[in-house]
Amino acid sequence: MPKYRKKPVEIEAVQLTPETFRDVIAFVPIDQFGAGGQHDDGRVYLSIRTLEGTMRADEGDWIIRGVQGEYYPCKPDIFAATYEPADNTPDTAEQEKTTRVFAALHRSAEDDVTRVINLYERWAAAGPPPLGTSIARWWDARLVELHDAIRPPMREQRERPTHADGTPYSYAEIRAEGWRYCEGCRMWSTGAPDPHQCPRPYIRVASADQPKEQ
């Protein structure tokens, strides 16, 4: 005989306990809620109008919302044998991609801070401007130095940026580190100024999987 496997589905469920009784009442639509309360021994119960008629759920039972929006009770042993918690953690590849993007942003910010600190230390070592120096011109020169320190040094290469293990940068990582691609010269570059004059302007990569280099 042919064999079949049940398709995996995700459902929402709440276990009926004294602590979750109010949650269950809020979980089940009012038009499907029958009655509820406590037995003489203190155990809670309720009834639910299902597609098969009114069904009773006792304490410990699970109240399930099915894939078509229907509600029904399920005994705890059957629930444990049939369902398991859904894995809501991000995909491993997506986690790795996110980690690399944050690492690229961290490297870029760390490099910026290091260059500014080094510049400050040079300023502190040089001391104040010599007597007779135009303060306006001296300060303009310091602003140029600060501007150059904040902007990353220019780098250019033929190949698409990659990690140390040879894995190509994703689009998000390229944006994070400020890489650009020149269609005319087929060069990748980051930093400023533009390394060369080219009739075709620099562009940002349109797709991480389809870079414009050929």
pLDDT in tens, 102-161: 777 777 778 778 888 888 888 888 888 888 888 888 888 888 888 777 776 667 777 777
Average pLDDT score, the chain: 78
| Pair 29, 96 in one domain | no
Q: In degrees rounded to 5, what are phi and psi of residue 107? A: -60, -45
pTM higher than 0.75: no
Q: Are 41 and 59 in contact (CB under 8 A)?
A: no
Do both 129 and 64 map to the same domain? no
CB 62 within 8 A of CB 79: yes
Mean pLDDT value of segment 11-16: 91
Sheet holding 33-38, edge to edge: 33-38, 44-50, 53-58
Contact between 13 and 79 under an 8 Å Cβ cutoff? The reply is: yes
- Only one residue has tokens 């349109």, namely 206
Q: Are residues 101 and 72 in the same domain?
A: no
Do 162 and 168 meet the contact criterion of CB atoms below 8 Å apart?
Answer: yes
Instruction: Give the pLDDT confidence score for residue 207 in this predicted structure.
Output: 41
**158 domain residue, yes or no:** yes
Q: Within this chain, do residues 98 and 167 fall inside the same structural domain, yes or no? A: yes
* Selection from 57-61, 110-114, 208-212 with the highest mean pLDDT: 57-61
Same domain, 68 and 100: no
Tell me whether residue 214 is in a domain.
no
**Domain edge (last residue) among 51, 82, 113:** 82
Cα–Cα distance, 181 to 125 (Å, whole number): 39
Tell me if 211 is assigned to some domain.
no
157 and 116 in one domain?
yes
- The β-bridge partners of 74 are 62
**Domain co-membership, 106 together with 153:** yes
pLDDT digits 0-9 by tens, 192-203: 555 555 655 544
pLDDT score of 8 more than 60: yes
Q: Quick check: is 27 in a domain?
A: yes
- Do 146 and 171 belong together in one domain? yes
**22 part of a folded domain:** yes
In a domain, 52, yes or no: yes
Alpha-carbon distance of 4 to 153, in angstroms, equals: 61
pLDDT category at 206 given cuts 50, 70, 90 is very low
Confidence of residue 211 (pLDDT cuts 50, 70, 90): very low
Say if residue 55 is in the same domain as residue 146: no
| Residue 7 vs residue 209, higher pLDDT | 7
Q: Are residues 180 and 77 in the same domain?
A: no
User: How would you classify residue 69: left for phi > 0, otherwise alpha for psi between -120 and 50, otherwise beta?
Assistant: left
Residues 97 and 199 in one domain: yes
Task: Give the pLDDT confidence score for residue 74 in this predicted structure.
Answer: 93
Domain span including residue 16: 12-82
Looking at 62, 82, 102, which one is the last position of a domain? 82
Listed in sequence order, the residues at least 6 apart from 27 whose beta carbon sits closer than 8 Å to its beta carbon are 12, 14, 63, 65, 71
Instruction: Classify residue 63: in a domain, yes or no.
Output: yes
Per-residue pLDDT tens digits for 160-205 = 777 777 777 777 777 777 777 776 677 777 765 555 556 555 444 4
Residues 130 and 175 in one domain: yes
SS3 call for 44: strand
Mean pLDDT of 68-78: 91
- Alpha carbons 185 and 201: distance in angstroms, whole number: 10
Q: Is the Cβ–Cβ distance between 104 and 112 less than 8 Å?
A: no
The tally of domains found in the chain comes to 2
pLDDT for the residue numbered 212: 43
